[in-house]
Amino acid sequence: MSERLTTGDTAPAFTLPDADGNNVSLADHKGRKVIVYFYPRALTPGCTKQACDFTDNLDLLTAAGYDVIGVSPDKPEKLAKFRDEENLKVTLVGDPAKETLEAYGAFGEKKNYGKTVMGVIRSTIVVDENGKVEHAFYNVRATGHVAKIIKDLGI
């Protein structure tokens, strides 16, 4: 399991394929704040709720200067199906090798129905305009998390 990020850390660089197979890099967003959220799997109830919450609040977040990128271990084809079925507007990228998930401390041991398993730890990292971690939220709940982020960021 990798180390969790904390405020002031440099956000690990990444380049991952989006739902259309185009590369998306954290560096593409230099000069803007980025909310990078990590979720276990597309097309599941909790992940759908979270992605829809981000989509529903995307205009508010964008107006406040934030871009939103969702990261899961899914392949681009599944991300495209997820985006299209749920009318998602957030950028979704896939990390099947789990390298970015591990670099952000969003993959490792977690409890699932009382058992310890290896998997994606639902997490959200807010990166500032200079590529530094502004906030790091780990083990978040899918429901209500976006509202909490908006409140915590003072938007």
Query: Would you name the residues annotated as active-site residues?
Result: 47
Instruction: Please name the residues in contact with 128: beta carbons below 8 A apart, sequence gap of 6 or more.
Output: 33, 134
Kind and range of the H or E element at 104?
none
DSSP label of 114 = T
Nearest to 32 by CA among 2, 57, 69: 69
Tokens of 65: 């200067």
Contact in structure between 66 and 41 (CB atoms under 8 Å): no
Amino acid identity of residue 80, one-letter, is: A
Q: Where are the alpha helices (DSSP H) in 1-154?
A: 45-56, 58-63, 76-86, 99-103, 145-152
